[in-house]
Protein backbone atom coordinates (compact mmCIF):
# COMPACT_ATOMS: atom_id res chain seq x y z
CA UNK A 1 0.00 0.00 0.00
CA UNK A 2 2.93 2.32 0.76
CA UNK A 3 4.24 1.96 -2.82
CA UNK A 4 0.80 2.68 -4.26
CA UNK A 5 0.45 5.87 -2.19
CA UNK A 6 3.94 6.99 -3.28
CA UNK A 7 2.97 6.43 -6.92
CA UNK A 8 -0.17 8.57 -6.46
CA UNK A 9 1.89 11.37 -4.91
CA UNK A 10 4.58 11.14 -7.60
CA UNK A 11 2.00 11.20 -10.41
CA UNK A 12 0.23 14.10 -8.61
CA UNK A 13 -3.16 12.40 -8.79
CA UNK A 14 -6.23 13.60 -6.93
CA UNK A 15 -9.64 12.00 -6.46
CA UNK A 16 -12.30 13.44 -8.75
CA UNK A 17 -15.45 14.87 -7.24
CA UNK A 18 -18.06 12.18 -7.18
CA UNK A 19 -21.07 10.53 -5.67
CA UNK A 20 -20.31 9.01 -2.31
CA UNK A 21 -20.27 5.24 -2.24
CA UNK A 22 -18.47 4.15 0.90
CA UNK A 23 -17.49 0.72 -0.40
CA UNK A 24 -16.71 -0.16 -4.02
CA UNK A 25 -15.81 -3.82 -3.51
CA UNK A 26 -17.25 -6.68 -1.47
CA UNK A 27 -16.60 -10.40 -1.21
CA UNK A 28 -20.34 -10.97 -1.83
CA UNK A 29 -20.78 -12.77 1.49
CA UNK A 30 -23.24 -12.00 4.25
CA UNK A 31 -23.04 -11.92 8.02
CA UNK A 32 -19.74 -12.22 9.83
CA UNK A 33 -17.91 -13.29 6.66
CA UNK A 34 -18.83 -10.12 4.75
CA UNK A 35 -15.95 -7.83 3.81
CA UNK A 36 -16.40 -4.47 2.09
CA UNK A 37 -13.65 -2.04 1.05
CA UNK A 38 -13.22 1.11 -0.98
CA UNK A 39 -10.83 -0.15 -3.65
CA UNK A 40 -11.96 1.66 -6.79
CA UNK A 41 -11.26 5.35 -7.29
CA UNK A 42 -11.61 7.84 -10.13
CA UNK A 43 -8.57 10.12 -10.23
CA UNK A 44 -7.07 12.85 -12.36
CA UNK A 45 -3.83 14.81 -12.50
CA UNK A 46 -3.53 18.62 -12.48
CA UNK A 47 -3.80 18.88 -16.27
CA UNK A 48 -7.04 16.87 -16.16
CA UNK A 49 -8.45 19.02 -13.37
CA UNK A 50 -7.43 22.21 -15.21
CA UNK A 51 -9.12 21.17 -18.46
CA UNK A 52 -11.98 19.03 -17.14
CA UNK A 53 -12.30 20.39 -13.60
CA UNK A 54 -16.06 19.99 -13.50
CA UNK A 55 -15.86 16.25 -14.21
CA UNK A 56 -17.86 14.04 -11.87
CA UNK A 57 -17.39 10.37 -10.96
CA UNK A 58 -20.62 8.40 -10.60
CA UNK A 59 -20.27 5.22 -8.53
CA UNK A 60 -23.02 2.74 -9.35
CA UNK A 61 -24.40 -0.20 -7.38
CA UNK A 62 -22.41 -3.35 -8.12
CA UNK A 63 -25.26 -5.53 -9.35
CA UNK A 64 -23.89 -9.06 -9.76
CA UNK A 65 -20.23 -8.00 -9.73
CA UNK A 66 -18.04 -7.72 -6.66
CA UNK A 67 -16.89 -4.25 -7.83
CA UNK A 68 -18.99 -1.12 -8.22
CA UNK A 69 -18.75 0.29 -11.74
CA UNK A 70 -17.79 3.94 -12.04
CA UNK A 71 -18.58 6.27 -14.91
CA UNK A 72 -17.04 9.70 -15.33
CA UNK A 73 -19.11 12.57 -16.63
CA UNK A 74 -16.69 14.76 -18.56
CA UNK A 75 -17.36 18.46 -18.28
CA UNK A 76 -15.05 21.22 -19.36
CA UNK A 77 -14.07 23.81 -16.82
CA UNK A 78 -16.33 26.76 -17.50
CA UNK A 79 -14.74 30.16 -17.19
CA UNK A 80 -16.40 32.47 -14.78
CA UNK A 81 -18.15 35.59 -16.00
CA UNK A 82 -17.22 39.08 -14.99
CA UNK A 83 -17.73 39.70 -11.28
CA UNK A 84 -20.62 41.91 -10.26
CA UNK A 85 -19.45 45.29 -9.02
CA UNK A 86 -21.80 47.65 -7.25
CA UNK A 87 -20.65 51.22 -6.91
CA UNK A 88 -22.03 53.23 -4.01
CA UNK A 89 -23.40 56.00 -6.23
CA UNK A 90 -25.98 53.44 -7.43
CA UNK A 91 -27.62 53.76 -4.01
CA UNK A 92 -28.64 57.30 -4.96
CA UNK A 93 -31.03 56.01 -7.64
CA UNK A 94 -34.68 56.81 -6.86
CA UNK A 95 -35.75 53.16 -7.12
CA UNK A 96 -32.78 51.69 -5.22
CA UNK A 97 -34.44 51.13 -1.81
CA UNK A 98 -37.66 49.85 -3.39
CA UNK A 99 -35.75 47.38 -5.60
CA UNK A 100 -33.63 46.05 -2.73
CA UNK A 101 -36.67 45.60 -0.48
CA UNK A 102 -38.57 43.72 -3.23
CA UNK A 103 -35.70 41.32 -3.89
CA UNK A 104 -34.92 40.67 -0.22
CA UNK A 105 -38.61 40.01 0.50
CA UNK A 106 -38.64 37.08 -1.97
CA UNK A 107 -38.97 33.65 -0.38
CA UNK A 108 -36.38 30.98 -1.20
CA UNK A 109 -36.50 27.46 0.16
CA UNK A 110 -34.25 24.45 0.36
CA UNK A 111 -31.01 25.94 1.58
CA UNK A 112 -29.84 27.39 4.87
CA UNK A 113 -27.81 29.90 2.85
CA UNK A 114 -30.89 31.84 1.75
CA UNK A 115 -28.98 35.11 1.87
CA UNK A 116 -26.80 33.92 -1.06
CA UNK A 117 -29.88 33.29 -3.20
CA UNK A 118 -31.30 36.67 -2.24
CA UNK A 119 -28.08 38.46 -3.15
CA UNK A 120 -27.88 36.61 -6.47
CA UNK A 121 -31.47 37.60 -7.26
CA UNK A 122 -30.61 41.23 -6.45
CA UNK A 123 -27.79 41.33 -9.02
CA UNK A 124 -30.00 41.64 -12.14
CA UNK A 125 -32.29 44.40 -10.86
CA UNK A 126 -29.32 46.43 -9.58
CA UNK A 127 -27.61 46.09 -12.96
CA UNK A 128 -30.77 47.36 -14.65
CA UNK A 129 -30.88 50.35 -12.29
CA UNK A 130 -27.28 51.31 -12.98
CA UNK A 131 -27.38 50.82 -16.75
CA UNK A 132 -28.39 53.72 -18.93
CA UNK A 133 -30.68 53.34 -21.91
CA UNK A 134 -29.04 54.31 -25.21
CA UNK A 135 -31.08 57.50 -25.59
CA UNK A 136 -30.03 58.85 -22.22
CA UNK A 137 -26.37 58.03 -22.91
CA UNK A 138 -26.53 59.68 -26.34
CA UNK A 139 -28.13 62.78 -24.81
CA UNK A 140 -25.42 62.99 -22.17
CA UNK A 141 -22.70 62.65 -24.85
CA UNK A 142 -24.28 65.50 -26.85
CA UNK A 143 -24.44 67.70 -23.77
CA UNK A 144 -20.82 66.90 -22.91
CA UNK A 145 -19.74 67.69 -26.48
CA UNK A 146 -21.57 71.05 -26.34
CA UNK A 147 -19.95 71.95 -23.01
CA UNK A 148 -16.48 70.99 -24.24
CA UNK A 149 -16.86 73.11 -27.39
CA UNK A 150 -17.91 76.30 -25.54
Query: What are the C-alpha distances in Å from 91 to residues 72, 81, 123, 134?
Result: 47, 24, 13, 21
Calpha distance 113→119 (Å, rounded): 10
Q: Is residue 95's pLDDT more than 90?
A: no
Last residue of one domain, picked from the residues 12, 41, 73: 73
Are residue 69 and residue 9 in the same domain, yes or no?
yes
CA–CA separation, 25 vs 23, rounded Å?
Answer: 6
55 in the same domain as 98: no
Average pLDDT over residues 66-80: 81
Last residue of a domain, one of 11, 43, 73: 73
Flag whether pLDDT at 77 surpasses 70: no
Model pLDDT, residue 108: 74
- Best-predicted range by mean pLDDT among 55-59, 105-109, 112-116? 55-59
The residue from 46, 73, 100 where one domain ends is 73
pLDDT surpasses 80 at 142: yes
Q: Does 83 reside within a domain?
A: no
User: Full-prediction pTM beyond 0.75?
Assistant: no
Amino acid sequence: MHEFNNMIRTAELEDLKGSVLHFTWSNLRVGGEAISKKLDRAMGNWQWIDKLGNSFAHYHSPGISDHSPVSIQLMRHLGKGKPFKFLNFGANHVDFIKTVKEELAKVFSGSPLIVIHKLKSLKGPLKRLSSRPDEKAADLRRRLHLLQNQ
